[in-house]
């Protein structure tokens, strides 16, 4: 039986752990929280989910940032219904974090675009939109970009297909799995003149 962490029975410490994991997830590619499952709803009210990279987490404003191709289906889904959720899980730490929020699309977000390497920008140079059918396997971009990055000039074309999904966090739900007894909590983000957080324990 493993030793219980210090946050096990303390809401404030649990919340600090949440913030720490999300911040680390942005910077550390080896962190399980670097990747998250983004869930949207399509035009038929069917849930849609896909794995995306956590690009930014603003702990002061509780905003999450994710990159996407503007032509992707998830953009249309968000434009129809801005309610989204994110699911994170670390199988070693036995921690799950679920975020509920409202998403907004920021087209050709230059500040985030400039932070990408040309190797990453090549993903936005595909002639056809993501999800297009093909007769044979294809990355979508020019074959020469499979080995070499596009030049600065070539990369510029990609910004027209690039966008940022900015998610305003409404609540964060926490689950910690332990043989001694699981722990579950929710942190509701209250927005107004001053942002506040309401914390509550839940039954797992």
Question: How many other β-carbons are positioned within 10 Å of the β-carbon of residue 148?
Answer: 11
pLDDT recorded at residue 202: 98
Q: Is 154 a domain residue?
A: yes
Q: Is the pTM of this model over 0.85?
A: yes
Average pLDDT taken over every residue of the chain: 95
Domain that holds residue 20: 11-129+150-202
Geometric angle at alpha carbon 30, from 26 and 35, rounded to 5°: 55
Report in angstroms the alpha-carbon separations of 181 from 82, 175, 201: 35, 11, 13
Burial 58-95 (b: 16+ CB within 10 A, else e): eeeebebbbbbbbbbbbbebbeeeeebbbebbeeeeeb
Residue 27 in this model has a pLDDT that exceeds 80? yes
Q: What CATH number is associated with residue 58? A: 2.30.110.10
Geometric angle at alpha carbon 87, from 84 and 89, rounded to 5°: 175
Residue 46 in this model has a pLDDT that exceeds 90? yes
- Write out pLDDT tens, residues 90-105: 999 999 999 999 999 9
pLDDT recorded at residue 143: 85
Q: Is 33 a domain residue?
A: yes
Residue 1 in this model has a pLDDT that exceeds 90? no
């Amino acid at each position: 039986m493993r030793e219980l962490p210090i946050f096990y029975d303390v809401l404030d410490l649990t919340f600090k752990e949440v913030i720490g994991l999300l911040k680390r997830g942005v910077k550390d590619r080896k962190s399980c929280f670097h990747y998250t499952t983004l869930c949207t709803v399509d035009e038929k009210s069917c849930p849609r989910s896909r794995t995306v990279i956590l690009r930014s987490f603003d702990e002061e404003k509780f905003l999450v940032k994710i990159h996407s191709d503007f032509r992707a289906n998830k953009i249309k889904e968000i434009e129809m219904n801005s309610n989204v959720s994110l699911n994170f899980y670390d199988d070693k730490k036995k921690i799950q974090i679920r975020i509920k929020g409202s998403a907004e699309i920021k087209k050709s977000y230059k500040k985030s675009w400039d932070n990408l390497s040309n190797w990453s920008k090549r993903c936005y140079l595909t002639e056809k939109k993501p999800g297009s059918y093909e007769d044979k396997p294809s990355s979508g971009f020019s074959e020469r970009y499979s080995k070499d990055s596009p030049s600065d000039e070539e990369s510029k074309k990609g910004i027209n297909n690039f966008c940022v999904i900015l998610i305003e966090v409404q609540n964060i739900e926490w689950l910690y799995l332990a043989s001694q007894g699981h722990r579950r909590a929710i942190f509701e983000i209250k927005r107004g003149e001053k942002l506040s957080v309401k914390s509550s324990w839940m039954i797992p």
